[in-house]
Structure 1
Amino acid sequence: MTAIATDALIAHDASAVAAADAVIAGLDLPAAGIGVDDPATGERIAHIADIDVDGALRAVETADAAGRAWARTTPRERANVLHAWHALLVERTEELAHLISREMGKPLAEARGEVKYGSDFVRWYAEEAVRPAGGFRDAPDGGASILTRRAPVGLSVLITPWNFPLAMATRKIAPALAAGCAAVVKPATSTPLSTIFAVQLAVQAGVPADLVQVVTTSSSSRFSEAVLRHPRVRKVSFTGSTEVGRTLMRLASDTVLRSSMELGGNAPFLVFDDADLERAIDGAFAAKLRNGGQSCIGANRFFVQEGIADAFVEGLAERFRQVKVGGGLGAGTVLGPLIDTRAVEQMGAFTSDAVERGATLLAGGEALGDGRFFAPTVLDRVPADADLAREEIFGPIAAIQRFSSEAEALERANDTELGLAAYVFTESLDRALDVADRLESGIVGINQGVPSNAAAPFGGVKQSGLGREGSAEGLEEYQSVRFYNIARRASS
């Protein structure tokens, strides 16, 4: 790919910037503190408070006090507030999308998609809150009845990543509120603004002002060590790397916290000879370039059967060559900047390592402009010992390996300690279901590249995490099951 001029890359539509900055101006942010930068330009767009440990603990106590009253509200009351929040999120879609694009860099069209995805969780849990839970049964030996009920698990600490700053917040906050829990939310310091705005809208919708506390801090480790040991905290939910997840699980074990961990991925993308070629290319394009490849379920390792490989590789490379790279608020942008220059440098290192080991570069492979962008890249015949064949890429590189048999593909796909998402493309329903059953993964996209849905239980196996988000299972993560043993009078 020919390098694009820096000015063309970072160009933002002036009206789009103004729309985003108007939202930022209304957030009542401090004049100094942690800087938030536009990743396309490096421009400082806001400051956020750097809250110390004492401030974080005060937030815990404030949320907990409000949570005691919230836990006594009826499911219908909670559902009505969540419906009102959903309506505000939909009403303010354009402002939210511009804000997401400004702070995170994703193209405006994708940012609108994130607002839709994030607001879907709020609507889902508004509806899920009033669905029946619990049960009643007779004890097998007679003489008693067993009543089961669900109660709020308690104050929940929600730690969200930078790559989907709105959706990852609503995916955690909405079920917590639906279950009757208070929450302390710690967004990523690089992308906190969407969360702050979303919580502001939640308060406008009727969520008690103290119930959801947003804590921004430059020291995630000090925050976690203090807050997770607070006796009123009963739940932690984290989305991020497996390494950090292990640390949080060790901290959570000290007070036996209920834990949900959505951790790293190393998703295999399997294309069999009988796949529909165009559908497979479309799916690969979406699974790889969505969010610039900065997604935990993004396709990481492409395994393509030999009979279809040449056509698939050339078709995908041609699609990648046509991608418009630019600032997220620029007209027609398909691929925005990576989150920071270190990420761009890592993509360059991955590419160089693969080529040195024998991979063939067919598209991209270079940093663009001022080093904040990386060209969409296709590498064919990537050796299994290359770094990007073993590590989570988190960028716009499609690393393709070829295989001959189904058994070989499955063995290589499962050869990882991670198991979040996987993809299977084939026109055989029997093969699709059989391969999906044998993949060691919590999520499988069959003939589609974007499997996420608010109605689906999102989560992984192996070292990709514990628990589920979305669907009915996501609500259960914020509930404790209790049973009452009710003595029955013996019949005369």
Structure 2
Amino acid sequence: MSTISESELLAQIPSQLFINGKWLDATAGKTVDVQDPATGAVIKTIADASPADGMKALDAAVAAQDAWAATAPRVRAEILRKAFERVIELKNEFALLMTLEMGKPLAESLGEVAYGAEFLRWFSEEAVRINGRYGINPEGTGRTIVTQMPVGPSYMITPWNFPLAMATRKIAPALAAGCTVVVKPATLTPLTTLFFAKILQEVGLPDGVVNVFTTTSTAAVSDPIILDQRLRKLSFTGSTGVGQSLMKLATENMLRTSMELGGNAPFVVFEDADLDKAVDGVMLAKFRNIGQACTAANRIIVHESVAEEFAARVTERVKAMKVGRGTEEGVTIGPLIDEKAVAKASELVADAVAKGATVATGGHAIAGAGTFYEPTVLTGVTPGANILTEEIFGPVLSITTFATEEEGIRIANDTEYGLIGYVFTEDLKRGQRLIEKLQTGMMGLNVGVISNASAPFGGVKMSGIGREGGAEGIHEYLSTKYTMTPNPFA
């Protein structure tokens, strides 16, 4: 690991708005404090943008759009590649910064650096593979030319739970496609994105192509940007409710939208599952990022014949987890992001217990500094418990049971969400059936982690629209243009 101290690292992180290649104070002079959730201490005070600052950022993106779109794909690719290499060089600094502002253990932060950086490398390779086609129309009277054009200036709103990966997953395909961007990171964890903007500047990204601001006046700053006719794309990751509101605004100018919204992931364990694999898988799917992930397993649905053994094995593993500040050696569960998250976890656990569930381990907030909640296992969760319908975003694993494949599928699909599902079975045909029957945009078959830069990430139903990552990801920032020309031989 890097020997850089926390204070030395934080001194390197910009505290201003990044607009048109310059670091600027907020017009109104307002600031906002960023806290370490493990201690409650303020670690950095940064600029708090006003609506005027937001429009400056959009102005810069609009002004830079034509030149960036005309920049050779290879040049765009090389900038992204240099950014990838620089992020990897600074992996320890990025990891420590994420642990400080978000709370996840350092080992997980390092994993996010590798994952987040991979979007830069992947889309550097996709930038030079934006293809069209040429052909003879069926009547033979002309020629059709189909090209892919950059959508244009894009506004990106990122969440707090994966500060680097959520930024690179949006910024990288946009830049590869030839789009300029305005980025608003969450005020709870803005420092990683500001640090990344500094890296983009270092590797030669032209002024105005990426602009970053933070604000506590989200609607007042964002709404005018979204309603401005010069903006052509909106990408948001966050709650379904906020996503619905943003989509309504986006219809005013028919913006292209990408929405990665809430999840309520089922984790289905069949009677023929390899329980060693299933337990390993659920520990990853549930407790990665302290359970604060839209892909987190929210409903553990286990066949009644193996439920008792599965619960015993999982409980033993959970009891061994170490809670603490993410910088401490051996810690596997850090703090939740804020007091609201702790309160929600407490409320959902209490509701489940009141409706018949049993607490096998954990079940309480941890007193003292920081926003910690015990890693928890609930067994015997009954229909009607709120934890089966609400995304908990915390380290609480709830187990319910089923008797038949049909019942398991019905329970898994009994949600308005459809982001991801996990299935553990050694029956190949059953696995194939679940691929077709599970109503989700993604599925893990005998694996507990599926996120990969080369694969399309996204959901169905109320979990959103569009895809990020993979070959599909760059097309979210491209517009198809068709041209007819005369038959050159006529």
The TM-score range, normalised by the shorter chain, is over 0.9
- 1:488 corresponds to 2:487: yes
Work out the CA distance in 2 between the residues paired with 1:39 and 1:489: 67
Contact 2:54-2:222 at 8 Å conserved across structures: no
Query: 2:14·2:195 contact (CA, 8 Å) conserved in 1?
Result: no
Asked whether the equivalents of residues 79 and 126 of structure 1 are also in contact (C-alpha less than 8 Å), the reply is yes
Q: CA deviation at 1:68?
A: 1.7
Alpha carbons 1:19, 1:98 under 8 Å: kept = no
Superposition deviation, residue 175 in structure 1: 0.4
Distance of 2:14 and 2:277 partners within structure 1:
46
The aligned amino acid for 2:298 is N
More deviation, 367-376/466-475: 367-376
Decide whether the 8 Å contact of 1:19 with 1:95 is kept in 2: no
Counterpart contact for 1:224–1:248, Cα < 8 Å: no
Instruction: Write the distance in 2 (CA, Å) between the matches of 1:286 and 1:490.
Output: 62
- CA distance in structure 1 between the aligned counterparts of 2:409 and 2:377, rounded to whole angstroms: 22
Secondary structure at the counterpart of residue 459 of structure 1? coil
**1:380-399 counterparts in 2 under 5 A?**
380-399=379-398
CA distance, structure 1, for counterparts of residue 489 and residue 173 of structure 2: 42
8 Å CA contact 1:143, 1:490 repeated in 2: no
| 1:225 and 2:223 are equivalent in the alignment | yes
Partner of 2:460: 461
- For 2:328, the aligned partner's letter is G
Match of residue 237, structure 1, among 216, 235, 238: 235
Residue by residue over 1:389-426, the C-alpha shift from the partner in whole angstroms, topping out at 9 and shown as x without a partner, is: 11011101111100000000111111111100100000
Question: Alpha carbons of 1:35 and 1:182: their partners in 2 closer, same or farther (altered >3 Å)?
Answer: same
Q: Is the 8 A contact 1:143 1:489 kept in 2?
A: no
Partner of 1:327: 325
Offset at 1:132?
4.5
For the residue of structure 2 that corresponds to 1:224, the secondary structure is: helix
User: Separation in 2 of the partners of 1:377 and 1:202?
Assistant: 41
**Residue 27 of structure 1: how far off its partner (Å):** 2.5
The residue aligned with 2:38 is 40
TM-score, normalised relative to structure 1: 0.95
Check if 1:29 corresponds to 2:15. Answer: yes
- Structure 2 residue matching 1:355: 3-state secondary structure: helix
Q: Does 1:97 align with 2:95?
A: yes
> 1:19: how far off?
2.9
Report the Cα offset of residue 21 of structure 1.
Answer: 2.9
- 1:93, 1:182 → 2: CA distance? 26
**Structure 1: runs of 5 or more not aligned:** 1-12
The secondary structure found in structure 2 opposite 1:228 is helix
C-alpha deviations, 1:221-270, integer Å up to 9, x for none?
Answer: 11221110112110000000000000000000001000000000000000
> 1:420 aligned to 2:406?
no
What does residue 477 of structure 1 align with?
A: 476
Residue in 1 that maps onto 2:21? none
Quote the Cα distance in structure 2 between the aligned partners of 1:489 and 1:163.
56
- Flag the 1:382–1:26 CA change in 2: closer, same or farther, 3 A: same
Counterpart residue type for residue 167 of structure 1:
A
Q: In the aligned structure 1, how far is the partner of 2:5 from the partner of 2:78?
A: 30
Is the 1:269–1:422 Cα contact (8 Å) retained in structure 2? yes
Aligned residue-pair number: 477
Q: Is the 8 A contact 2:130 2:148 kept in 1?
A: no
Report SS of the residue matched to 1:130: helix
Q: Which amino acid aligns with 1:61?
A: D
| TM-aligned CA deviation for residue 130 of structure 1 | 0.8
Q: Distance in 2 between matches of 1:314 and 1:81?
A: 50
TM-score normalised by structure 2 residue count? 0.95
1:490 deviates by 5.1
1:317 and 2:315 correspond? yes
Letter in 2 for 1:378: V
Aligned partners of 2:14 and 2:194 also within 8 Å: no
Correspondence for 1:343: 341
Q: Equivalent residue for 1:442?
A: 441
| Alignment partner of 2:286 out of 267, 285, 288 | 288
Structure 1 residues 350-429: aligned runs within 5 Å? 350-370=348-368, 372-429=371-428
Q: Once the 2 structures are TM-superposed, how far is the Cα of residue 285 of structure 1 from its aligned partner?
A: 0.3
1:59 maps to 57
What is the match of residue 135 of structure 2?
137
* Partner of residue 177 from structure 1, selected from 170, 175, 193: 175
Unaligned ranges ≥5, structure 2: 17-24
2-structure distance, mates of 1:397, 1:340: 16
How far has the Cα of 1:141 moved from its partner? 1.2
**Partner of 2:247 in structure 1?**
249
Task: Give the secondary-structure state (helix, strand or coil) at the position aligned to 2:343.
Answer: helix
Q: Which whole-Å CA distance do the structure 1 matches of 2:5 and 2:105 have between them?
A: 15
Question: Which structure 2 residues correspond to residues 144-159 of structure 1 after superposition, within 5 A?
Answer: 144-159=142-157
Q: Is the partner of 2:302 in helix, strand or coil?
A: strand
Residue matched to 1:3: none
SS of match in other structure, 2:479: strand
Asked if the contact 1:40–1:105 (Cα under 8 Å) also holds between the matched residues in 2, the reply is yes
Structure 1 letter corresponding to 2:444 = G
Shift of 1:489: 4.1
Provide the rounded CA distance (Å) in 1 between the counterparts of 2:167 and 2:479. 22
User: Separation in 2 of the partners of 1:265 and 1:464?
Assistant: 6
Map 1:58-207 → 2, pairs under 5 A: 58-207=56-205
Percent identical among aligned pairs is 49
Pair 102,240 (structure 1): closer, same or farther in 2 beyond 3 Å: same
Structure 1 vs Structure 2 CA RMSD: 1.4
Give, in whole Å, the separation in 2 of the partners of 1:197 and 1:170.
12
Paired residues for 1:292-307 under 5 Å:
292-307=290-305
Structure 2 distance, partners of 1:71, 1:98, is: 35
Residues 145 and 488, structure 1, Cα contact 8 Å, conserved in 2: yes
Question: What does residue 271 of structure 2 align with?
Answer: 273
